[in-house]
Structure 1
Amino acid sequence: MHGVKTHALLITLLPSLAAADPLPAGSSVSLQPGGGNSIGRLDLTDTGNRVWTLQRSSDLTNWSDASTLKVRNSLLRIALAKQNGTPRLYYRLHYNSDSQVAANDVADALQLPATLANYANPTLPAHLLTQQIRAQNNTPFDNATTNPGATLGRVLFYDKRLSANNTVSCSSCHQPAHGFSDPARFSTGFAGGLTGRNSMGLTSNRYYLRGKYFWDERAATLEDQVLMPIQNTTEMGLTLDQLVTKVSAEPYYATLFTSAFGDPAVNSTRISKALAQFVRSIVSGNTKYDQGVPVNFTNFTAEENQGRAIFNGPAGGCSACHGSDNFVPGNNIFNNGLENPYVDKGLGSVTGLTSDEGFFKVPSLRNIELTAPYMHDGRFATLEQVVEFYNSGVVNHPNLSPQLRVPPGNPGMGNPRRLNLNPGQKAALVAFLKTLTDTSVTTDPKFSDPFRYDAP
């Protein structure tokens, strides 16, 4: 029959594996070992998100259809069961380009709770509900976070269809286990190219008072920022028109957009709003530090309390750039003296002003333990290296921020500030920074990948 190709994956109880035909473009199959009642598991990677038929046979002559399978986010895991009384069993995947219709509504494609998760009103401790903290919130009046909006944003955040070849999602460069950042110095884009800067962690991003995004603050709002990687020719490679077309083609998005916005219309403004709502919902409030605030940090070790004193006191002065219980920079952007001259000019590359060279956004330190490597170019692999830089390596750049000069003063005045800590003090400072880790955020199901990858 025209359009029918059988891509045979022959698995026996041994097992052995063979491919009868080249697989369709963008697809590959691997076999994982089984146990108990399982022969094994097929991992079907298919960036075309196609419909396949799993067939089985005991004699390689007579084949029966076992199930019809839809790949929904470029990956499908298929468990291969044994059959009682069948000493040898073979499976193959059958792809028919003329039979590409399969159920693909919300229940088929996604694992979402019956009652939407709480994104709009996260439970936070009292010290994160003060007026100072509320004033840091950069949520615009026309895009308040809602449970349906952030749920839609969560699906979009993990959807690889937001890239040109369905291989990269927002989460590819902002991985939960790494504080929603990338453990690589530079992230890999849809065609294998590398980004020019390290991917910044997303924890507590809504508390960036300046409201501008990217290391050089070239995005005026988070709503602007979330669409820019999608359009970047290295990162995800789509135009906004292509983005809307691809999202509109998935039936489950009609349901999600209706829930979030009242009707199923898909446009780039709604996509940006939903993504921004999801990102702003990633808020930390359950670190060891947070648990210590109401008990005056009696839960801390002596070393952690020593580090806290260094961080907040004149010996370290770290809170001058990482202030409040969110450890954010207030309404400031800083030049921290990484080098002179700067290879990457940061804000200066956006404005073209010499006086802006070397200024970069300062992220929250919440989950800093998880977001290595550090700085805009990922030059430091560990927190120990970061502390050593501030201890002995700050460079006297003309734009070095006053907080990093001795005495603090105007740019160009005073020498670079060096902490000159001893080994014990440096270790204590690192220990304190690790009290800002919040794995309850990075492991929370409501921030996880919602797609169904296991075949029913």
Structure 2
Amino acid sequence: MKIYIKFIGLILFLSSCKEELPISKNKFEKINFEKIPNYNYNIPKYILKDNSGGVKIDNKKALLGRILFYDRKLSVDNTISCSSCHIQTIGFSDSLPLSDGVYNRKTLRHSMRLGYLKFSDEPRYFWDKRALNLLEQVISPIQDHNEMGFSGKENQPNFDSLMLKLNNTNYYTELFDWAYGNDTIITKLKLQTSLIHFIRSIHSFDSKFDKGLRLTNDIEKPFPNFTDSENKGKLLFLKNPIFGFDEKRISGGAGCAQCHIPPEFNIHPNIKNNGIQYNNNLDLTVTKSPSLRDLYNPEGFLNSGLTHFGKIKIDTIIEHYNHPKTYLIDSIDPKLTYNKQPQNLQLTPKEKKALKAFLKTLTSIDIYTNEKFTNPFY
């Protein structure tokens, strides 16, 4: 009898040790809290850049970050979430040139694609690099007066008000306790950390380019899964141009890889302005761009208008790099010049078409379809 009682006691003890799931799991029917998604991909060996300091993505924190990412409670009027401007089906970008913010306000620049932030030499964020790191980046939209509104300006609540709001939201006290271990207090750092773990997980290396690179292990060799045009575009992208005595390109490529470094296709950390204008508007503070991966969606269309204007098409950009305007010489990065003049690549229509064909090979599949990136509220 004593043995039986001890056995029952042991069962009860072990049951009490079993990890408790958040009560709020019933609110998120799309999430199986007993088998949460794995947010840690097996990164290909050829992907060498990692600005996370080697910090492994925590699945619980990433899942909590996903919930925060899609929750409109993070805006002052409960109308805007991070996902309002970074939409999964279009590569976590926005189809609008300027995104909608609280109280019908507009963002000042186009919303960048969010994928592949982890794989870059550049630790700064936003078009003008104003955020020194991801800790700053993830809360900047929340504190922006136009975007999510917790600015503390013009009688709007400040960030402390958001902390109070979340601490008074039952499912968040439960979720933070679950993700951070017996600690129901929600802090700014925990909010930042959760969002960072989710955002750093947004990547996929299942594109046609990645499959080709795995087949050859040499980015400069023709990829057997590429068309002739795609392989031609790849070489144009990789090779630097060679100019003749008349300062026009006579051979080589377009030199795109000088700024958009493969195989991550992140922007060079020391790049300067590219001189791209819209309606004669030139913003010299813009010195960063997102990864060129997932520039196009799987259907072959651009995920959004390009550059910080959000209105410029790919043909316009290729033509700009083909031969920038002379009056921009003092504004653009030296990589876009030759002999102190804007470069003249003399790209043929066939070469321009090949470049576009290559850029489409950088499109992934998983980012657009994996449920672990989807809205948990619907």
Q: With the length of structure 1 as denominator, give the TM-score of the two structures.
A: 0.67
Aligned to 1:379: 311
Aligned to 2:220: none
Q: Quick one: which of 289, 293, 310 aligns to 1:362? A: 289
Name the amino acid aligned to 1:366.
R
Q: Judging changes above 3 Å, is the alpha-carbon distance between structure 1 residues 110 and 267 closer, same or farther for their aligned structure 2 residues?
A: farther
Match for 2:176: what amino acid?
A: F
What residue in structure 1 maps to residue 233 of structure 2?
307
Partners of 1:137 and 1:446 lie apart in 2 by 22
> Normalized per residue, which structure has more strand?
1
Deviations 1:60-113 (A, max 9, x none): xxxxxxxxxxxxxxxxxxxxxxxxxxxxxxxxxxxxxxxxxxx98222245212
Counterpart in 1 of 2:201?
281
Match of 2:190 among 265, 270, 279: 270
CA shift at 1:327, angstroms? 0.6
Give the Cα separation in 2 of the matches to 1:444 and 1:341. 39
- Superposed displacement of residue 385, structure 1: 2.5
Q: Is residue 2:129 matched to residue 1:198?
A: no
Q: Which residue of 2 aligns with 1:252?
A: 171
Residues in 2 aligned to 1:342 and 1:152: alpha-carbon distance in whole angstroms: 43
| Letter matched to residue 348 of structure 2 | N
Task: Identify the structure with bigger relative contact order (alpha carbons < 8 Å, sequence gap 6+).
Answer: 2
| Inter-partner Cα distance in structure 1 for 2:160 and 2:278 | 42
* Structure 2 counterparts to residues 413-452 of structure 1, below 5 A: 414-451=340-377
Deviation >4 Å, runs of 4+: 339-344
Cα deviation, residue 383, structure 1 = 2.1
C-alpha deviation, 1:193, in angstroms: 1.2
Q: Say how many residue pairs are matched.
A: 324
Q: 1:178 aligns with which of 70, 90, 113?
A: 90
Q: 1:394 to 1:286 in 2, by over 3 A?
A: farther
| Contact 1:174–1:202 (Cα < 8 Å) also in 2 | yes
Taking a change above 3 Å as real, the CA distance of residues 340 and 448 of structure 1, as seen in their structure-2 partners, is: closer
Q: Which residue of 2 aligns with 1:53?
A: none
Larger Rg: 1
| Cα deviation digits, residues 363-417 of structure 1 (max 9, x gap) | 210001143211111231x32222122123455241321111114xxxxxx1111
**CA–CA separation in structure 2 for the residues paired with 1:161 and 1:253:** 11
Aligned to 2:266: 328
Residues 400 and 301 of structure 1: is their aligned pair in 2 closer, same or farther, counting only changes over 3 Å?
same
State the match for 1:404 in structure 2: 336
Task: Please state how far the C-alpha of 1:319 moved relative to its aligned partner.
Answer: 0.2
Shift of 1:144: 4.4
TM-score scaled by length of structure 2: 0.81
Residues 317-339 of structure 1: CA deviation (Å, up to 9, x unaligned): 00000112001124323211224
Q: Is this contact kept in 1: 2:233–2:351, CA < 8 A?
A: yes
- Correspondence for 1:92: none
Does the 8 A contact of 1:157 with 1:171 survive in 2? Answer: yes
What is aligned with 1:188? 100
Using a 3 Å threshold, how does the CA distance of structure 1 residues 104 and 187 change in structure 2: closer, same or farther? farther
Instruction: Report how far residue 448 of structure 1 moved.
Output: 0.7
1:204-231 deviations in Å (ceiling 9; x for gaps): 0112322111111111111111111111
Q: Do the aligned partners of 1:341 and 1:397 also contact (CA within 8 Å) in 2?
A: no
Q: Distance in 2 between matches of 1:397 and 1:276?
A: 38
Distance 1:172-1:295 versus aligned 2 partners, 3 A rule: same
1:161/1:110 CA distance change after superposition, 3 Å: farther
| TM-fit CA distance, 1:241 | 1.2
1:139 aligns with 2:52: yes
Structure 1 residues 358, 420: CA separation in 2 closer, same or farther (over 3 Å shift)? farther
Q: Which runs of 5+ in 2 are unaligned?
A: 1-21, 151-157, 217-222, 242-252, 298-302
Match of 2:131 among 219, 223, 226: 219
Q: How far is the alpha carbon of 1:252 from its aligned partner?
A: 1.9
Q: Given the superposition, is the C-alpha separation of residues 163 and 110 from structure 1 closer, same or farther in structure 2, using an over 3 Å criterion?
A: farther
Match of 1:116 in 2: 36
> Does the 8 Å contact 1:138/1:211 carry over to 2?
yes
Q: Which has the higher helix share?
A: 2
